[in-house]
Amino acid sequence: MIQFVKYFFGVILLFHCFYSIGQEKFDLSADTICVGDLLTISDDNKPNTYYNFHGSNLDTCGTIPNAITYDNYVACKSYIYKKSGSYVIDQIINSYTAKKTVVVMDKLPPAFEVFRCISNQVKIRITDTYYHEYLLDYGTGPIAVNSGQELIVTLAGPTAIKLTGRFRPTLCGNSATQNVTPFSVLPVPQLNKVIANNFSQSSGSINILFSVSTSFNQYKVERDINYSGIFTPIDTIDGTNTSFLDENLNTENNSYCYRISAFDDCNNMSSSSTICSSPFSVSAINNANNINWTQYHQPGFQSYEILKNSVTLSTFTSSNTTTISDTDIKCGKEDCYKLITHLISGGVFESPAICVKGISNNIPTAISNLNSTIENNQVKILWSSSVSSIPKYTILKSTNGGSPEIITEVKQQPYFTSINFLDSDCYQIEFSDSCGNKSPLSNQTCPVVLTLEESETENMLQWTPYSGFVSGISKYVIVKSDLSGNILKEIDAGTSLSFTDTEIDPHTSVGFTYYIKAIPAGIEVIPFSQSNIKTVKYEIQIFTPTAFTPDKDGINDVFIPKGKFFTEFEMTVFNRWGEIVFHSTDINNGWDGLYKGDVAKQDSYAYLIKAKDNRGREKVYKGTVTLLR
């Protein structure tokens, strides 16, 4: 059936084509419409008139829900396009066809800009070019405006500004709205601090700290170079910013002045106070650090503050002061300086820290209080110096009056070294300070070396003179102790270098120790210098001959031991069969070669000697003696 209908309409259309008797036409309700708006067609209302709108399946064909169609031609005279574009509409009636073009536009919100100005004014700029005409309503009713137009209006309060764009002739289109709260005055930004991060001729940078109102979003950072009075905007920021970094600057030679300005689009501006940077330098010269900076010329100056190692060194209230010399330095010690410029507004400029090491070409004072003493058979060398931070000391030694020679380098005292008690050793010290300046040689110090000669009746002490005390020697004191370390006596020897001790009893004492104390005449690094320790031990000593000849010629007739440092004595002599041939407890009573009243025969005889000292210590001697005839 459907194929039959198509065939029937085809026959009719061909019939009308070949038998048309005149030209036909049609009109559109508008040549420009908007998506979704109704397009209508006006014609002569002849039968069998059809149109092809070249639309899409989404479009709506007028008010005919089931229009009769033939090859995309419809028998309706109204149409709704759902997609923008330029469309050609074809009419077919009898043998005549006609064409019309319609432009279908999207309903886009028109674009416009609103800028707030002081005194509740706003600047409105129509930037949209899409529509044929525009209407602007800022609370007083719509007025016609043109694309590209700019106007300044005053608002009564918070306002919804509405711009409507329309196409002619249907006046279809769309609107856009911006809600604006006007303001009467610009906020005043506050510039808090300007910090120079480094000093450089090309890569310097400065950090700017400020406070702005977060309810306003139009600020600019402005800069003036070397107090020219001309501020140039270098960047814009909004109300969320609190800092700005300015880079690639010649901070070494130039002063940079900054301010933060709030601005509107009506050329109104509200600026903060100004803070300027100052080039700042520190140089080390002999025994001083010179500090220089550029004078602050901007109004509102309060004071300069110079920091040394984060502590205030000096403060100056005159802006004309631009230099200071710091003489409180130490050779080789690093000190760091900063310049802080305080303004009446509370603003601050802060330079970076510049650090330098103190220098000096002064020859350091020689050490004059080098002293020595002997501990545990080692020389202990001590000193003090007014020069601090000495990297190392050089120790020199001279022997028996010879030239001093370097023996070692040390970083601190005391220094210990071995000693040869057979030589006379003396010591000196020198050093180089942190700047490499070498001191003269110190005073010479020679420790006291004690020697001792002992006998059964006396001990003879001699010692070398002490050298090292600045105040000189007051006296020498001999310290005499027992072998347990208990001081028995301290003997004042004055300035003598020898002493003989006769207060000895080998039979009642087991020995003594001696050492010398050199006492200074004034206050020194050490209260006294001590010598080495000498020890005398009274130990049992027995000496026996290896043979004797009891022939009564008066020469070597008796076997009699000799000895000392004992209080008890016992000697027994045995023959080869173990028989006792002699016994005595008196060292002065020897064996005369008799055994049981008869002359003993020539032979070797064994002896056993036992001796005890006054502390009960026993010593046993065993051996043989030969009796010769």
Mean pLDDT on 169-180: 95
- Specify the pLDDT at position 506: 64
Q: Is the pLDDT of residue 502 over 70?
A: yes
Provide the number of structural domains found in the chain.
Answer: 7
Asked whether residue 290 falls in the same domain as residue 379, the answer is: no
Asked whether residue 83 falls in the same domain as residue 141, the answer is: no
Q: Is the pLDDT of residue 16 over 50?
A: no
Give domain status of residue 365, yes or no: no
- Give the residue from 162, 165, 158, 163 showing the smallest Cα distance to 116: 158
Q: Is the pLDDT of residue 3 over 80?
A: no
Average pLDDT of every residue of the chain: 90
Mean pLDDT on 262-268: 88
| Burial of 247 (C-beta count, 10 Å sphere; 0-12/13-18/19+) | exposed
- 42-46, 172-176, 373-377, 522-526, range with the lowest pLDDT: 42-46
Domain of 338?
280-357
Mean pLDDT on 213-231: 94
3-state secondary structure 555-567: CCCCECCEEECCC
Asked whether residue 601 falls in the same domain as residue 569, the answer is: yes
Mean pLDDT on 424-453: 93
- 115-119, 473-477, 563-567, range with the lowest pLDDT: 563-567
- Specify the pLDDT at position 214: 92
Mean pLDDT on 202-227: 95
pTM of the entire predicted model: 0.57
Residue 420's pLDDT band, with cuts at 50, 70 and 90, is confident
Name the residue with tokens 């130990």: 539
Residue type, 242: T
Mean pLDDT on 217-222: 94
Asked whether residue 379 falls in the same domain as residue 290, the answer is: no
| Burial of 441 (C-beta count, 10 Å sphere; 0-12/13-18/19+) | middle
Q: Is the pLDDT of residue 399 over 80?
A: yes
Residue 456's pLDDT band, with cuts at 50, 70 and 90, is confident
DSSP letters, 390-437, are --EEEEEEEETT---EEEEEESSS-EEEE--TTS-EEEEEEEE-TT-P
Dihedral sign for Cα atoms in the order 438, 444, 445, 451: positive
| Run of H or E including 270 | strand 269-271
- 3-17, 406-420, 539-553, range with the lowest pLDDT: 3-17
Residue 11's pLDDT band, with cuts at 50, 70 and 90, is very low
- 69-83, 280-294, 369-383, range with the lowest pLDDT: 69-83
Residue 22's pLDDT band, with cuts at 50, 70 and 90, is very low
Please state, for a pLDDT cut of 70, what percent of the chain lies above it: 94
Q: Is the pLDDT of residue 136 over 60?
A: yes
- Specify the pLDDT at position 62: 63
- Last residue of one domain, picked from the residues 255, 276, 297: 276
Mean pLDDT on 163-191: 94
Residue type, 220: K
Asked whether residue 92 falls in the same domain as residue 11, the answer is: yes
CATH number of the structural domain spanning residue 70: 2.60.40.10
Mean pLDDT on 178-204: 95
- Last residue of one domain, picked from the residues 49, 75, 105: 105
Asked whether residue 57 falls in the same domain as residue 84, the answer is: yes
Asked whether residue 211 falls in the same domain as residue 269, the answer is: yes
Q: Is the pLDDT of residue 486 over 70?
A: yes
Q: Is the pLDDT of residue 498 over 50?
A: yes
Residue 24's pLDDT band, with cuts at 50, 70 and 90, is low
Give domain status of residue 158, yes or no: yes
Q: Is the pLDDT of residue 389 over 80?
A: no
Token pair of 383, please? Answer: 């000193």
Give domain status of residue 442, yes or no: no
User: How far is Cα 265 from Cα 113, in angstroms, rounded to an integer?
Assistant: 11
Residue type, 584: S
Asked whether residue 9 falls in the same domain as residue 101, the answer is: yes
- Specify the pLDDT at position 19: 36
Give domain status of residue 349, yes or no: yes
Q: Is the pLDDT of residue 451 over 80?
A: yes
Residue 6's pLDDT band, with cuts at 50, 70 and 90, is very low
3-state secondary structure of 131: coil
More confident residue, 456 or 116: 116
Asked whether residue 592 falls in the same domain as residue 617, the answer is: yes
Give domain status of residue 366, yes or no: no
- Give the residue from 480, 481, 500, 483 showing the smallest Cα distance to 491: 480
User: How far is Cα 338 from Cα 314, in angstroms, rounded to an integer?
Assistant: 11
Alpha helix segments (H runs only) across 140-243: none
- Specify the pLDDT at position 69: 56
- Give the residue from 122, 104, 105, 103 showing the smallest Cα distance to 114: 122
Give domain status of residue 441, yes or no: no
Please state, for a pLDDT cut of 90, what percent of the chain lies above it: 72
Mean pLDDT on 232-240: 95
Residue 21's pLDDT band, with cuts at 50, 70 and 90, is very low
Q: Is the pLDDT of residue 64 over 60?
A: no
- 130-134, 212-216, 247-251, range with the lowest pLDDT: 212-216
Q: Is the pLDDT of residue 72 over 90?
A: no
- Last residue of one domain, picked from the residues 276, 310, 334: 276
Tens digits of residue pLDDT in 511-520: 899 999 999 9
Mean pLDDT on 461-470: 95
Asked whether residue 14 falls in the same domain as residue 88, the answer is: yes
- Specify the pLDDT at position 386: 78
- Specify the pLDDT at position 507: 61
Tens digits of residue pLDDT in 341-367: 999 999 999 999 999 999 999 898 999
- Specify the pLDDT at position 473: 95
- Specify the pLDDT at position 71: 63
Q: Is the pLDDT of residue 534 over 60?
A: yes
Give domain status of residue 439, yes or no: no
CATH number of the structural domain spanning residue 570: 2.60.40
Residue 387's pLDDT band, with cuts at 50, 70 and 90, is confident
Q: Is the pLDDT of residue 317 over 50?
A: yes
Mean pLDDT on 436-443: 93
Asked whether residue 294 falls in the same domain as residue 342, the answer is: yes
Asked whether residue 473 falls in the same domain as residue 520, the answer is: yes
- Specify the pLDDT at position 433: 85
Give domain status of residue 364, yes or no: no
